[in-house]
A = this chain, B = another copy of it.
Amino acid sequence: MDESEFLAGYDPRAYPAVAVTVDVVALTIRGGGLRVLLIRRAEQPYAGLWALPGGFIRPEEDLPQAAARELAEETGLSGPAGPSGRIHIEQLASYGAPERDPRMRIVSVSYLAFAPDLPDPRAGSDAADASWHSVDKLPELAFDHDRILAHGLERARGKLEYTPLATAFAGETFTISELRGVYETVWGVPLHAGNFHRKILSVPGFVESTGESTESGGARGGPRAKLYRAGDARLLHPALLRPAREEQIR
Which chain B residues border A192 with CB–CB below 8 Å?
none
Contact indicator B51/A2 (Cβ below 8 Å)? yes
Given contacts A13-B17, A19-B18, contact A3 B101 (CB under 8 A): yes
A42 within 8 A of B: yes
Query: Which residues of chain A from 2 to 43 have a CB within 8 Å of any chain B CB?
Result: 2-8, 12-13, 15-21, 39, 41-43
**Chain B: minimal CB distance from A29 (Å):** 26
A199 within 8 A of B: no
Which chain B residues border A62 with CB–CB below 8 Å?
96-98
**Chain B: minimal CB distance from A158 (Å):** 9
Q: How far, in angstroms, from A233 to B247 measured CA to CA in the complex?
A: 10
Contact indicator B94/A94 (Cβ below 8 Å)? yes
Given contacts A12-B17, A96-B109, A109-B107, contact A126 B91 (CB under 8 A): no
A68 within 8 A of B: no
Contact indicator B250/A233 (Cβ below 8 Å)? yes
Which chain B residues border A234 with CB–CB below 8 Å?
249-250
Q: How far, in angstroms, from A41 to B4 measured CA to CA in the complex?
A: 8
Residue of B nearest to A203 (CB): B249
**Chain B: minimal CB distance from A65 (Å):** 9
A248 within 8 A of B: yes
* Interface membership of chain A positions 130-151, coded 1 if the CB is closer than 8 angstroms to chain B and 0 otherwise: 0000000000000000000000
A55 within 8 A of B: yes
Contact indicator B8/A19 (Cβ below 8 Å)? no
Q: Choose one: B2, B15, B233; the contact of A39 (CB below 8 Å).
A: B2
Q: How far, in angstroms, from A62 to B103 measured CA to CA in the complex?
A: 16
The residues of A with any CB-CB pair to B shorter than 8 Å are: 1-8, 12-13, 15-21, 39, 41-47, 51, 53-57, 59-63, 91, 93-98, 101, 103-107, 109, 124, 126-127, 204-205, 232-235, 237, 244, 248-250
User: What 3 A-B pairs are tightest by C-beta distance, nearest first?
Assistant: A1-B55, A4-B43, A63-B96
